[in-house]
Amino acid sequence: MVLVFSDNKNLTFEMLSKASELAKNLNKKVTAVIIGKTDDALAKEYISFGADKVFVAETNLESFKAEEYTDILGNIVKETGAETILIGSNKNGKELAARLGGKLNAGCVIDSNNIYLKDKKLTAERVVYSGNAIAVEQFNSTPAIVTVPSKAFDRLKKDDSRKGDIIKKKIDAEKSTSKILKVQEMKTEGVNVEDAEIIVSCGRGFKNKEDIKLVQELADVLKGKTVGCSRPIAADMKWLPEECWIGLSGHKVKPKLYIAAGISGQIQHIAGMRDSGIIVAINKDPDALIFKSADYGIVGDLYEVLPKLTSAVKEKMG
């Protein structure tokens, strides 16, 4: 059986498509796991996106705690006999996967963006050395645990006619010794680069924080409204929040249109946006690396190009 779990439903939809492919090749079934309160609508959605079965572990847990989720998921793996476990690679998922590997004495590959069978063995690929190489890893034992980042796989077309079983079971986690005192939602300004269809990104080619309005204006006229950035803009200069940071150590995005202005195109940035539909690069250096990944390149000063592009788009869009 191929088991799929994430506390992020979109990530679960994406993993279900890979799980279905693996299950078909292994002649097995796909089970999606929900931990917490029963949510029949979500369980049905998981079935529509490829799950053959949904296992709902009904617990009294208020929020995610790695120790308790590991305990619950470990019990589900033992009960279902799952051999392959896909876990969404967000912060919670990575901690959960590593702990589960320890608990089950199982192999665990983190952040895999390609999973397949080779010589009948489960094989997972992941980017290493800051994006300069790809490690190909194989499991010699079961269960095998792989964490999957968002946008690694396309979700299947939703099929509401699919049928599947929903199994509900009360599972109490072993009480852990740690205690959550407070859960505070991170304040975001409506930015969600991972779901955006159009992203206009800025890099160190910008001289001042105020100049970022140039990408904001273009994003607005493109009706995308989503601004992204390279690492220095979020991590060093702190001109934009971390939610805008795209790349290997930032967010992985897959918009229809990605415009990169004043970004050099180092491999760590490309790793986060290379799957975008159309990539447009604006850079004053004709030899900038970004042009190798771009579908359209504009060699020029972003301070001249961006306002012209914004007014041209505005005119075109009426």
Where do contacts with ligand FAD occur on this chain (CB under 6 A)? 130, 203-205, 230-232, 247-250, 262-264, 266, 268-269, 272, 282-285, 288, 301-303
Smallest distance, Å, CB 214 to ligand FAD?
Answer: 10
Cβ 76 to ligand FAD shortest distance, Å: 33
**Nearest of 246, 240, 239 to residue 263 by alpha carbon:** 246
With b for 16 or more beta-carbon neighbours within 10 A and e for fewer, the 42-68 pattern comes to bbbbbbbbbbbbbbbbebebeebbbbb
Please, which residue, 107 or 205, has the CB nearer to ligand FAD?
205
Question: Smaller CB distance to ligand FAD: residue 106 or 234?
Answer: 234
Tokens (6 digits) for 200: 């206009």
Q: Which is nearer to ligand FAD, 146 or 302 (CB)?
A: 302
CB-nearer residue toward ligand FAD: 18 or 151:
151
CA distances from 68 to 54, 99, 171, 220 (A): 20, 10, 11, 44
* Cβ neighbours of 78 (radius 10 Å): 12
Q: Which residue's CB is nearer to ligand FAD, number 93 or number 203?
A: 203
Nearer to ligand FAD, 107 or 250 (CB): 250
CA 268, 270, 272, 275: dihedral to nearest 10 degrees? -150
Using CA atoms, how far apart are residues 301 and 92, in angstroms rounded to an integer?
42
Minimum distance from CB of 268 to ligand FAD (Å)?
A: 3
Nearest to 253 by CA among 198, 186, 187: 198
CB of 213 to ligand FAD, least distance (A): 15
Q: Which residue's C-beta sits nearest to ligand FAD?
A: 247
- List, edge to edge, every strand of the sheet that includes 30-36: 107-109, 144-148, 84-88, 2-5, 30-36, 53-58, 165-170
- The DSSP secondary-structure symbol of 64 reads -
- Name the minimum Å distance from CB 258 to ligand FAD: 13
Nearer to ligand FAD, 35 or 281 (CB): 281
Cβ 234 to ligand FAD shortest distance, Å: 8
In the bound complex, what is the minimum distance in angstroms from residue 97's beta carbon to ligand FAD? 21
| Minimum CB–partner distance for residue 70 and ligand FAD (Å) | 28
In a 10 Å sphere around its CB, with 0-12 CB exposed, 13-18 middle and 19+ buried, how is residue 86 labelled? buried
d(CA 240, CA 198): 17
Q: Which is nearer to ligand FAD, 24 or 209 (CB)?
A: 209
Q: Which residues contact residue 134 at a Cβ distance below 8 angstroms, ignoring those fewer than 6 apart?
A: 125, 126, 127, 128
